[in-house]
Structure 1
């Protein structure tokens, strides 16, 4: 089967039913730069109640596995059988769920752009999903645990829950793990996020530990073994699981320091499928509960990013600055916000205001105090610029 490109940049190449619930798709992706595949598990009710919409669980694989792994090795079909979830299992090769900085043997894939900019909109446009934050969760193992938490932290307006099983949750530690993954996809040193020494901020811009504050308001689960074999595992201690255990502990402590509630489970165990099968079985009910009764979004909200431009919760911030650094949009509600960073920033608010009305906007930034008025556009958005200075300046904005 050959189809025309969809509006999301995907071309569906083939569809194959593998069972009563499992379907495999092959697509051409502009972001990946070629053909890639995914599997989808549909709930049993999907074909029975044709008017009902269902939440989506994005279930992400680990390194050296692929989109087939959760169904072939991880008992995903059996585990999710009784839950009203659409389970999407995309491929990511060894790409660490990121847009690559440099090309490898397979080109310069943009995995984050594919998963969130192409695949997610295609899923919502094609199937009967609950196409909003309250209807999406992400979970994954190892590299996929990184993907689930990184995606949720970088895009908190897209996901209401995230779960990591033996996840790579802090690339500030054991950073060579990602370098090994890139090499297995033909990438050289620094292929994913650049040289760690010179592009450290880009690394940290994807790192769940550095972005933990953005996870506030979600249902979160962190599960890991400690590298010591359980009684059923007749093998030696596992240094890989010991490493991700250390990273998971750091994330657990960071969330605790921030006062962000989460489900934490650690035990004896190695980096292998018997543990991850148990993890999925224990976590799917938690995710299903969060999707059935979603936690409220933070209000006011705060968001941290090191991108030169970001869009979150319907707000857009674009920086003009000499270097990449972290910035924080914080304490955001209808009456104002704070923005920390450098250079100048162009801010476009959410559509929270009355179109055509003028609002008093009082700005205090490193350049001084500037009262003024801003006209809300036809969508009810306000737009204005802020001058933050050379480094780590803060602008306080009051809107009346």
Structure 2
């Protein structure tokens, strides 16, 4: 964590006057039979070798992150890795739920990643991939990373809904999973905090943060406690803040510094 703060302390002096390249692309999902947009942020005048997949929250879209934290462009230039912000649907939670033709886990892991790596010529090893996101996207990032450790070496979450079960009537989740009181096992299988048993020793480097006034603060604390109890190494940061864009515009600095540290270690090795 100390290294992350040192990185943040030097960002102001490192930011360049020019900004990264921001593209909006369409990626075909054969499984869902539709084109899905994504924002891709590339460092200017620098060849990226690693990629961070950055997921939006409930009711957001592919452009949410760049609107919430436009200085991501400067962070990409500073750190030199690719950032991809895919559209995850209004309320997909990044699950595969075939009855609604929501196959966003399969889309990201089987369709988007190969497209990005071919189109942008970035590294295709798991050590060149990270995933994080906010709220629904924080849940989605850890959900996808825990279930696909062959694809991701680094993962995070900011203000993540890491246990969905205290919120059975919120955010349209029951349209995908059924009523919680009728389908508790289905809900257990689709909530991050119940998937920690999937994490292999030393498989993932994790960074989780949440604001202390966030309605997801308690579930993030519970996940932190469970990861600690299970001896799963992770970084956990809490800061003053609510579940809003003001907090995420600050937390992305810590998230991206963490992944820069991860990718730098890969390069040095």
Above 0.5 in TM-score? yes
SS across alignment from 1:274:
helix
CA drift at 1:212: 1.4
Alignment correspondent of 1:267: 239
Matches of 2:260 and 2:240, distance apart in 1: 26
- In 1, the alpha carbon distance for the partners of 2:45 and 2:121 equals 12
- 1:86 aligns with one of 72, 82, 85: 82
Aligned counterpart, 1:71: 66
Deviation (angstroms), 1:128: 1.4
Residue 101 of structure 1, CA deviation: 4.4
Q: 2:207 aligns with which of 218, 221, 230?
A: 221
Q: What pairs up with 1:1-400 in 2 under 5 angstroms?
A: 21-46=21-46, 49=47, 54-75=49-70, 76-93=72-89, 94-103=91-100, 108-177=101-170, 180-182=171-173, 190-215=174-199, 216-217=201-202, 218-227=204-213, 241-242=214-215, 244-294=216-266
State the superposition RMSD in angstroms.
Answer: 2.0
Query: Contact conserved, 2:139 with 2:160, CA < 8 A, in 1?
Result: yes
For residue 130 of structure 1, give the secondary structure of its aligned residue in structure 2: coil
Distance 1:64 1:266, change over 3 A: same
Q: Which has the higher contact order (CA 8 A, sep 6+)?
A: 2
Contact 2:95 2:104 in 1 (8 A): yes
Contact 2:39/2:85 (8 A) holds in 1? yes
Deviations 1:246-275 (A, max 9, x none): 110111001100111211111321111111
Following superposition, the deviation at residue 220 of structure 1 comes to 0.8
Name the CA distance, whole Å, in 2 between partners of 1:32 and 1:74: 30
Deviation readout 1:350-380 (Å, 9 max, x if unpaired) = xxxxxxxxxxxxxxxxxxxxxxxxxxxxxxx
Match of 2:7 in 1: none
1:31 and 1:111 in contact (8 A); partners too: no
For 1:28, what is the secondary structure of its paired residue?
strand
Return the TM-score normalized by structure 1: 0.58
Cα distance in 1 for partners of 2:153, 2:139 equals 16
Aligned-pair CA distance for 1:195:
3.7
C-alpha distance in 2, partners of 1:34/1:101?
Answer: 15
Q: Which segments of 5 or more consecutive residues in structure 2 lack a partner in the other structure?
A: 1-18
Residue 214 (structure 1) shift: 2.9
Distance 1:152 1:20 in 2: 27
Distance in structure 2 (CA, Å) of the matches to 1:79 and 1:248: 26
Residue-by-residue CA offset, 1:182-204 (whole Å, 9 max, x unaligned): 5xxxxxxx332334334333322
Note if contact 1:99-1:192 (Cα within 8 Å) is conserved in structure 2: no
How far, CA to CA, are the matches of 1:22 and 1:87 in structure 2?
10
Q: Is the 8 A contact 1:79 1:280 kept in 2?
A: no
SS of 2:102's equivalent in the other structure is coil
Cα distance between partner residues in 1 of 2:210 and 2:36: 29
Q: Is the 8 A contact 1:31 1:109 kept in 2?
A: no
Determine if contact 2:20/2:43 at 8 Å carries over to the other structure.
Answer: no
**Which structure has the bigger radius of gyration?**
1
Equivalents in 1 of 2:94, 2:126: separation in Å? Answer: 19
Unaligned stretches of 5+ residues in structure 1 = 1-18, 183-189, 228-240, 295-400
Query: 1:155, 1:201 → 2: CA distance?
Result: 21
Q: Is the 8 A contact 1:101 1:191 kept in 2?
A: no
TM-score between both structures, scaled by the size of structure 2: 0.84
> Any idea what the Cα deviations from partners look like across 1:156-201, whole Å, max 9, x if unmatched?
1211111111100012322333xx235xxxxxxx332334334333
